[in-house]
Amino acid sequence: MVAHRKVRDVPERTSRDPEEVDLGGERYHKPDDKSRRVVIEAVGLGMQQKNVARMLGICVRTLRKHYREELDIAVDSINFDVARALYQRAASGKDTIASIFMLKSRAGWKDTQAPDANLPSQIQVTFALPDPKDAVGQQTAMVDVTPRETEEAEEEPEPS
């Protein structure tokens, strides 16, 4: 006599109800607005897909299957939200730093620094260098090496 293995009785599935259990014991995943927003925010902020899937309690394949559009637009969506918030702060006139940033980054404005009226425009420096031809211990004359605007106006003094 041949022993037959008993075949397990498995209920036949008639619909894809999320509460229904499939043959492997896993529930079907049904995305909702909240889970879609979580995927957009998490991926847009740089979280890896495997971590997002774990957070939702699904596998990466299910994440990619049900949230393909959200995965594709996540980074652009987050960037748009931040840009819109920055624009609203800048346009309100209450946040000067946001306004300056927007004008610099989007309108091509840049900082220019006006010269300070309290600072002199030129500084004269005089060096006293010994002439290497002079004997050691002899007095040497000071030589002014400051550049002059016009050489004709003043002549350099001769060393004495």
What secondary structure does DSSP assign to 88-155, as a single string?
A: HHHHHTS-HHHHHHHHHHHS------PPPTTS-S-----B----TTSPTTS----B-----S-TTT--
Residue 119 lies in a domain: no
Give how many domains the chain has, as a whole number: 1
Residue 82 lies in a domain: yes
CA dist 94 and 24 (Å) reads 58
Residue 121 lies in a domain: no
Residue-by-residue pLDDT tens, the chain, 160 positions:
555 544 444 344 444 554 444 445 556 889 999 999 999 999 999 999 999 999 999 999 999 999 999 999 999 999 999 999 999 999 998 889 888 888 888 888 888 877 677 777 777 777 776 666 665 666 656 667 777 776 555 555 666 5
Range of the domain at 68: 33-106
Predicted TM-score of the model (pTM): 0.49
Residue 24 lies in a domain: no
CA dist 85 and 100 (Å) reads 15
Residue 132 lies in a domain: no
Q: Please, are residues 67 and 39 in contact by the beta-carbon 8 Å criterion?
A: yes
Residue 43 lies in a domain: yes
Task: Tell which residue, 71, 52, 61, has the closest CA to residue 26.
Answer: 61
Residue 38 lies in a domain: yes
CA dist 22 and 68 (Å) reads 23
3 state SS of 21? strand
